[in-house]
Structure 1
Amino acid sequence: MPIFLLGVVQILSWGGSFYLLAVMARPIIAETHWSQQWVYGALSISILISGLLAPLTGRLIAAGHGRRLLAGSGIVMAAGLVMMGFAHHYALFFLAWCVIGIGMAMGLYDALFSVLGTLYGGQARSMITGITLISGFCTSLVWPGTAGLIHLFGWRDACYLCALLLLISVIPIYLYALPATSAAERAARPATITRSSSLAPQLFWLLCAIFTLASVIMTAMSLQLITLLQASGYSLAAALGISAILGPCQVGSRLVDIAFRRGHPIWTAFFSVALVAIGIIVLAIWPGMALLSMLLYGAGNGLRAIVRGTLPLAMVPPEEYALVVGRMARPALIGQALTPVIGGYVFDRAGASTTLWLLCLLALINVLLVLGLRYVLVTRRSPQ
């Protein structure tokens, strides 16, 4: 039951932050006449703020404040949504997304996985997989639900209703599902905060590069997939139909990972980046096989969230896990925040084909990085 509830609260948290503008941007633009660039730019800023705050979040979790931090994320996100509903000037809309960005740093995957890794060590792997399995239905549930609220009440009241849903669910679920940390346990932890991580710099930067590239590719594909498919000759209806397969594929790949959870997560990482690369390459070379392309890409992207939590867990002790994850989250989230701007520029200047081949190149580089990481791990384990 706790894993199911944690998965549900992640659906609500992602739906009330990262995925919100996918449905809400159009009615906002229609009413306010703000440019699309500025509306989506607010989301980029919120992701950037989340990345900048990630190391601080990791330190707070390592000090034993993770449960309260996660519970508080619902209050912060709700406050941002209420501000957004009241925003008749862009300055308040922008500020609202800055607040939501703080809530994202407090309550999305990186923070939750850090808390679980700190509390349960290696046993957290199955919990992380289970949570990502449930939250894999996020867009399938959140986008139609948000669209329904907007249709019935308008986008401003939809913001208030989403805020209310976060307030009545996030706090009680986290307080129920996660054990409290005693004052004595918190007092014993600050010594670990100032200690350097035992993870070798070479391994740390390899992980940072892998996670950053994976986040950039995912963000670019999420933003431009429909346009890329249309540029490949598909109608809008066909492109939407093909892209709809991503959610079930992500969930399916996570089910498969449960069956093979005893293996080292480096293999999950390899299958993730390899499937993503093959899927994008298939789309670039054989546009008519877009359905197969999305099956492969969706499966690889589904494993990405698991790898993000489990690979560092296999490489550092539990007391260092939150610190390492927090430090690694910063470059990945900064890259994610810059992707809409850079990706949009490349698409406008060079076109869909060049954009797709650039994504192929990044995906292949990530495959090489994962192979390099495995080589380093094997070398370090080998007797000298």
Structure 2
Amino acid sequence: MTRRQLPIILALGTTQTLAWASSYYVPALLADPMAHDLGVSSNWIFGAFSAALVISAMLGPRIGRQIDLVGGRQVLSASNLIIAAGLVLLGFSQSIAVMAIAWLVLGIGMAMGLYDAAFAALGRIYGTEARRPITGITLMAGFASTVGWPLTAWGIAHIGWRDTCFAWAAANVLIGLPLNFFMLPAIKGAKQAAAATAKPHLPLDRTMFLLAFIFAAVWTVTGAMAAHFPRILEATGATPAEAIAAGALIGPAQVGARMLEAGFLSRFHPLWSTRLACLTHPLGAVIVAIFGGAAASAFALFHGSGNGILTIARGTLPLSIFGPKDFGYRLGIIGAPARMAQAVAPLAFGLLIDLMGAKVLIVSSALSLSALVALFLIRPERPPD
């Protein structure tokens, strides 16, 4: 990490923390009070959230292609405005229809403003040297749940869920927008290049399919845990306070694992760290199955550490195999099934928890292990020059 990289990493790390905390991590705590106010089941909220992730998945390749052409400054700056608009609309919603529209707007903002877009922006700036900056921003944004869940919980308790939405919207406009706009470099000649460049053709070969499956499997687990982590822990016997406290450990665990990735694991091909990361969630599930709710914190640490490395791998693994050419577009294609899986995960796991309780961890562990098997089918290829 160089001095020239540090300001961009700090800016993007801050804006990514804000974007995740104010969009993706909101439903875990907002769903119940929102559903109570609207007079519906919380599954309606998770269903709308799932629809937002479908929109995000559909837009991923197009947004990645746009960043390949003109850089991330415009796209990421616009994402703050769109996320803010969705949050304001959510805060004003008095019906299921308005609430659903608000989540669709948030889905557009998430497609433009979360990790895939940030990784594509770094790939556009640094090319094959983007691995360290990608790790750097995820080191900071690993605290999104640690910051977001307590702040959202505090807001719901003291100012209500509607004003909490408005507060997150204001943070996107007053903090996120200036950082993305003023700190990310403009790409010289980008508009002319965009006008003259045809849409690339990327062959959907065996490696592309395997990567798409791997990230779909692990992101199903990530999506389910983000939406239902406290509820799952309570099903294992943890108290609500223990579940929230354990959830707050996910962020530090992610950051600790990313520090390991930035140091020791950076000597190896990303395939090795990704394989290691696919083991941690099942190991944590075994521990909590043996010791029950008393091991909630241990499970959170195992799950968080694996998720921390997998988040980096979503950017660094395709970069190491295919190189930086059309990186954003390729990320969008590989990531589309993962985002679709994330869209299904909150609702599907909500229903599975009703049926299986804590045994739902068998399903999430099986998904992680299937991704591990697929990783052993990928060869570490040299990226093209």
CA contact (8 A) 1:9 1:173 kept: yes
The residue correspondences of 1:1-384 to structure 2 (distance < 5 A) are 1-182=7-188, 184-189=189-194, 193-197=198-202, 201-260=205-264, 261-287=266-292, 289-353=295-359, 355-373=360-378, 376-377=379-380
CA distance in 1, matches of 2:346, 2:167: 28
Q: How many residues align?
A: 375
CA contact (8 A) 1:58 1:114 kept: yes
- Unpaired runs of 5+ residues, structure 1, are none
CA contact (8 A) 2:271 2:380 kept: no
- Residues 368, 352 of structure 1: CA spacing in aligned structure 2 closer, same or farther, 3 A cutoff? same
CA contact (8 A) 1:76 1:100 kept: yes
SS at structure 2 position matched to 1:314? helix
| One-letter code aligned to 2:105 | V
CA distance in 2, matches of 1:20, 1:242: 17
- Residues 190, 279 of structure 1: CA spacing in aligned structure 2 closer, same or farther, 3 A cutoff? farther
CA contact (8 A) 2:71 2:125 kept: no
- Residues 46, 207 of structure 1: CA spacing in aligned structure 2 closer, same or farther, 3 A cutoff? same
- Residues 241, 150 of structure 1: CA spacing in aligned structure 2 closer, same or farther, 3 A cutoff? closer
Relative to structure 2, which stretch is displaced further, 169-178 or 318-327? 169-178
CA distance in 1, matches of 2:134, 2:144: 15
Q: Deviations over 1:212-260 (max 9, x none)?
A: 1110011223333333333333333333333332222111111111113
Relative to structure 2, which stretch is displaced further, 111-120 or 16-25? 16-25
- Residues 208, 191 of structure 1: CA spacing in aligned structure 2 closer, same or farther, 3 A cutoff? farther
Shift, 1:101, TM fit: 0.5
| One-letter code aligned to 1:294 | A
CA distance in 2, matches of 1:34, 1:15: 24
Shift, 1:107, TM fit: 0.7
SS at structure 2 position matched to 1:239? helix
CA distance in 2, matches of 1:350, 1:104: 31
SS at structure 2 position matched to 1:377? coil
Shift, 1:350, TM fit: 3.9
- Residues 130, 193 of structure 1: CA spacing in aligned structure 2 closer, same or farther, 3 A cutoff? farther
CA contact (8 A) 1:193 1:323 kept: no
CA distance in 1, matches of 2:242, 2:87: 33
CA distance in 1, matches of 2:229, 2:94: 31
SS at structure 2 position matched to 1:319? coil
- Residues 189, 144 of structure 1: CA spacing in aligned structure 2 closer, same or farther, 3 A cutoff? same
CA distance in 1, matches of 2:159, 2:297: 36
Relative to structure 2, which stretch is displaced further, 327-336 or 37-46? 37-46
CA contact (8 A) 1:284 1:357 kept: no
Give the superposed CA RMSD: 2.2
| One-letter code aligned to 1:56 | R
Relative to structure 2, which stretch is displaced further, 316-325 or 100-109? 316-325
SS at structure 2 position matched to 1:318? coil
Relative to structure 2, which stretch is displaced further, 126-135 or 355-364? 355-364
- Residues 325, 248 of structure 1: CA spacing in aligned structure 2 closer, same or farther, 3 A cutoff? same
| Percent sequence identity over aligned pairs | 36
Aligned to 2:4: none
SS at structure 1 position matched to 2:13? helix
- Unpaired runs of 5+ residues, structure 2, are 1-6
TM-score for the superposition, normalised by structure 2: 0.90
- Residues 310, 137 of structure 1: CA spacing in aligned structure 2 closer, same or farther, 3 A cutoff? same
CA contact (8 A) 1:119 1:318 kept: no
Relative to structure 2, which stretch is displaced further, 213-222 or 20-29? 20-29
Relative to structure 2, which stretch is displaced further, 208-217 or 235-244? 235-244
- Residues 168, 204 of structure 1: CA spacing in aligned structure 2 closer, same or farther, 3 A cutoff? same
TM-score for the superposition, normalised by structure 1: 0.90
Q: Deviations over 1:260-296 (max 9, x none)?
A: 3232111121111122232223333554655443332
CA contact (8 A) 2:269 2:380 kept: no
